[in-house]
Amino acid sequence: MLARVRRGSVIQLAAIALVAAVVATAVALLIPWLPVAAGEEAERIHFVYWFTTAICIGVFAVVAAILGYSIWKFRVKPDDFSDGPPTHGHTQLEIIWTAIPAVLVTAISIVSAIVLAQNSRAGDNPLVVKVVAQQFAWTFTYPNGKTYGYLTLPEGRHTKLDLTANDVIHSFWVPELSQKQDAVPGQHTSIVVTPNRTGNFPVICTELCGLGHAAMRSHVEIMAAASFDKWVKSGGRPAGAAPGLAVFQQNGCGGCHTFKPAGSNGNVGPDLDDLKELAAKAGRGSEQDFIRESIVEPGAYIAPGFQDAMPHIYGAQIPAKQLQDLVQYLAGGS
């Protein structure tokens, strides 16, 4: 008799567990929780996610079954206010429900440690790109010394991103490459990425760094290795482009400013397509003088509706010739 009751309850428990597992699995699989993986490191990290999720679904199913069964079978009558029977517990059961989670958590840490170790391997000959973060833009410098405001990576090669910051702590993140790494003033941190899918993905600052944090974005273009070599040889921009455009990109101006000729759409600072009107309204000399002053000494005149948010570093950072190119470029010259 007892055996038959027990077999019955085991079947009921298993049925509830199965339903809970099916629902949890559907939630895990049918909703696209993760971005596409565009690199080997991202694929390994996704594996850890799914490994952990599978364990969680198993634990959830067992807990939901016992909880559901208990609510269903051992519920007291609505008018029963008496104390429950005193019980000591069940030592064997307690050992089991301590040991199994301990084994599972240890398994997750071992898998994570292996993935972290594999993900930090850059091989013998990585492409090294220096990444500098500053309020509110990213710059990327290649081994040939050229600097851009966006990142370009070859498919199928280990790339080591060497990160630092000029002012405050920022954090580098490309969701499709799955890793985040802080960029810290005075320190060099790094991550290794090995892209295995071509495409255009966002570069996001994921550490609150000031007024323009939300707009501190760039993009990464992952190209086939042959196209990347061509891109390096071409100097990264079409021949004949304005020299001021390169200065604009190198200093990350587009992170905060919209400027149609440069294809940028930042909105922390004034729209640079309106510079003529802004200069007239400000009444601080010729348009070119106004532009130059606004770059070198951004606090001298603040356009209505904006704050003194632009870093006061560009006067020291941009060499005279480049500054001249940039001023001309912004004033609509070449």
Binding footprint of ligand CUA on the chain (CB under 6 A): 133, 136, 170, 205, 207-209, 213, 216
If the CB atoms of residues 135 and 159 are measured against ligand CUA, the closer one turns out to be 135
CA atoms within 13 A on the CB side of 164: 9
CA 61 to centroid of chain Cα atoms: 32
Could you tell me the two tokens for 261?
């000729």
Q: What is the dihedral of CA 122, 127, 133, 136, to 10 degrees?
A: -120
Q: Which is nearer to ligand CUA, 24 or 183 (CB)?
A: 183
Question: How far, in Å, CA of 196 to CA of 36, rounded?
Answer: 11
In the bound state with ligand CUA, the residue whose beta carbon lies nearer, of 16 and 133, is 133
Distance in Å, CB of 217 to ligand CUA, minimum = 9
- Residue (158 or 170) nearer to ligand CUA, CB: 170
Q: Given the complex with ligand CUA, which of 206 and 322 has the nearer CB atom? A: 206
Q: 61 or 129: whose CB is closer to ligand CUA? A: 129
Neighbours of 329 (CB within 10 A): 24
- Closer CB to ligand CUA, residue 28 or residue 168? 168
Q: How far is the CB of 134 from ligand CUA (least distance, A)?
A: 8
Distance of closest approach, residue 45 Cβ to ligand CUA, in angstroms: 22
Write down the least CB distance from residue 207 to ligand CUA, Å. Answer: 5
Q: How far is the CB of 109 from ligand CUA (least distance, A)?
A: 30
Pick from 285, 297, 290: nearest CA to 274: 290
Nearest distance in Å: CB 205, ligand CUA? 3
Nearest residue to 259 via CA among 239, 246, 245: 245
Rounded Cα gap, residues 84 and 202, in angstroms:
58
Give SS3 for 254.
Answer: helix
CB-wise, 165 or 245, nearer to ligand CUA? 165
Nearer to ligand CUA, 134 or 250 (CB): 134
> 117-129: string of b/e by CB count within 10 Å (b at 16+)?
eebeebeeebbeb
Looking at residue 274, what DSSP letter applies?
G
Which residues lie across from 192 on neighbouring strands?
A: 160
Q: In the bound complex, what is the minimum distance in angstroms from residue 137's beta carbon to ligand CUA?
A: 9
C-beta of 204: minimal distance to ligand CUA in Å? 8
Helices (H), the chain: 2-30, 40-73, 91-119, 225-234, 243-250, 275-282, 287-296, 314-317, 320-330
Shortest approach of ligand CUA to residue 187 CB, angstroms?
15
Contact between residue 124 and residue 156 where contact means Cβ atoms under 8 Å apart: no
The two tokens of residue 217 are 């974005």
Cβ-contact 220, 229 below 8 angstroms:
no
Strands 137-141 and 127-134, sheet pairing? antiparallel
